Structure 1
Amino acid sequence: MRMLIKGGRCFVDGRLIDTDVLIKDGKIQALGKNLVAEDSVDKLIDASGKLVAPGLVDVHVHFRDPGLTYKETVETGSKAAAHGGFTTVGAMPNVDPVPDTPEKMRQMIKHNQQTGVVHVAQYSSVTVNRQGDQPVDFQAMKDAGAFAFSNDGSGIQTAGTMYRAMEGAAKVGLPLAAHVEDNSLLFGGVMTAGKRAEELGLPGAPSVSESAQVARDLVLAKATGVHYHICHVSTKESVELVRLAKKEGVNVTCEVTPHHLLLADKDIPANNSYFKMNPPLRHEEDRQAVIEGLLDGTIDMIATDHAPHSRKEKPQDDMRGAANGITGSETAFEMLYTKFVRPGIFSLAQLLNWLSAVPAEEFGLDQAGHLEPGKPADIAIFDLNTERKITEDSYLSKGVNSPFTGQRVYGTTDLTLVDGKVAYSRNGEEE
């Protein structure tokens, strides 16, 4: 089958150019103008006035499958990803059972491929059952298909365990993505300690619970040579530690979430669990630090930490006892485009790089992140000019736990192709 995307503004090799995209048998065949006669293709897509981008890449999602499928499944989570323009995602291992053996890993990958509408790369846990101090067999997990290692959802509490894990990941040449959180420094907090926590009458956790582990891990990463990736960086101290480590040659990358770029604790309107996530929303000075860190290259990429929960687990009237996390796949691009690109804080090329090329390159996802002849036709087409209101009934995820519901945004996804097939269409079109 041949398909032609015509008339769009395309993001190619870090630049926005006017070009058409010719697709054949699920792969990009050529880029250019006047490639073929329009009546010689099986399908013509008019992208006039639209952005044509490489399918976005999100290295941090929670699909809750297997074991927690009342929250999300690979099918619903991947459909939500496609709705947001993502065509490749990295699924975290905090599921039941945890993928900590080659057999479980192979089973999960098979399920991802059978039920997902986007490419789902699978994390292995770092330790057995994602708990304790016994590391997984790193080589066996890589051989079974793991693309990286993480215990996300939990910080690795002992330095010795992290050191051995870094040695194991370094030996097999895969990234270790760390949830950085020292449990002994949480003190029962449900949001960041400070003025807003006091105003809401809620227990607060100091932000040093993150930066203390970042400092520890950067020293260990330097000693082991591992590709150490920090999940959801959120504090000014963490950003500065990474900045210094990079200058020292430590092999470290890190991500920031849309919600930590967009919101601070002062923006929490009430004791509302849709504003409860881990790490929690920080102070405004931290928000400004992560923005600056993105702009100067200290922070490498944006990842959503898409974390769907049931309504029962996220009662909106109380953070105490509520689950951590918000959904993010379906709102990430449009919120960031609306709040940062349209006002001129980020360029569109910067945002697309942070959401496509950089995560693909840093995590070895060599078939993702670029519009290039010979690559899979993983493509997202966005409408940058039409405003829409984010509503609960528009979500394809099972989770509706988002503080961005009700926002008016630009940059809505019109069409997402995965291997040249329609994974999402705004007008309901199917392949």
Structure 2
Amino acid sequence: MSDLLLKQLALIGCRGPVITPGSTDYDRARQVWNGVADRWPAAVLRAADVDDVRKAIDVAANCNAVLAIRGGGHSLPGLSTCDGGLLLDLSQLNSGRLDISAGTVEAGGGALLRDLDGATVPSGFVVPAGVVSHTGVAGLTLGGGMGRVSRAYGLTIDSLIGVEIVTADGSVNWIDAAIDPELFWGIRGGGGNFGVITRFRFRLHQLGPVAVGHWMYPMADAQRAITGLGDLARQRPREFSVAFTLTRGGLSVTAVWVGDSRLADQMLSPFGDLAGVGEGEMGAMPFLHLQSRNDAHFAWSRRYYAKGGFWSDITGDVVDAMLQQIASAPTMDCEFYITQLGGAVADVREEDTAYSGRQAGYYWIAEPVWDDPADDERCIEWGRSAAGRLADRSIAANYVNEQSDTAIASGAYGAVKYDRLRHLKTRLDPSNLFRLNQNILPFAATPQ
């Protein structure tokens, strides 16, 4: 298989380099963000242009080879790499182009959030997208995309105007609400099941002054602080959002305000007094700094597992469950991360996009983070067990981006949406070439 694949790649003459085992750059080229996903593709094609993407799809299909697509490489299950197949690396397709007169920005399929923010924020605009700047725009967007300003401006997909996509038959097409509206519905939450996106176009949102408060509370005060946080958050307008992280070391709370700067103190300061006075500060903060604050903690090559879900609200029983589970966390970096939703996210009707969970008040993640491979088993087991305790209290839908376990699509989307997505998958990718994702199985296909 690998010999045939390499021969075909040599014959088609790609503009970008083909990197194979034995190449000096191979170890770096095969790496992805999650250190648990240590895999060995037969070849890595670092695409130089859209034609290289088309050629890679044709070769993989003709050789019946496994095809992995890497935008930012942040897939938690390691689905942006593979063993023995072809890894299509989009990192060179990372341009960002701002068109203020049109109110839009374009980002290449290999762009990172730092590329998107770098093209927009200095000019006073934003697209709501993520909380780690080295995340890929493509993977985050195709699953839905939650960010610091999603309550104000919606999910990332709610700003998506159109995409350039290369489908399994090798054709290159522009897709938007007028051109193939069913596919446009499906890519907004349906992940990478339908093709390789080489260009995204987003609608811009005006970004004014940003105020941020960040406070730490000791574990002894965590229960009271989280309960108070939920009560306060319900009273806030959509220009406000709050997220918190619970570890064995205590509770970290981050509150963000993007409304009238004269109201910033009123909106943020109560979160610094949730259970006595928290240790921290609040004030104006450059948005680019806010977007990169988590980068070091979630660095490349650390080891990760995550499993999450939606809550309607923060209830006493989920607080109790988190506190019980975090006490047995195997490393200090194991965490529960909870981010507030609602606001503009809930303005879009559930049926209007493949993304599911519009009416949720919060998204939660149980996420062990560690560095020693010897800790893999106990960290992953803790993550699954801790998430299981919280999943019992969650709504039925789920967010496909933040899951380390695979084969979750049917449950995440629900029966009606999953059936619709399967029809779309059958039309566009009947052989399931694009299967390294939270896979939507085409009709007549069998799991691989």
TM-score, length-scaled by structure 1: 0.29
| Bigger RCO of structures 1 and 2 (CA < 8 A, at least 6 apart) | 1
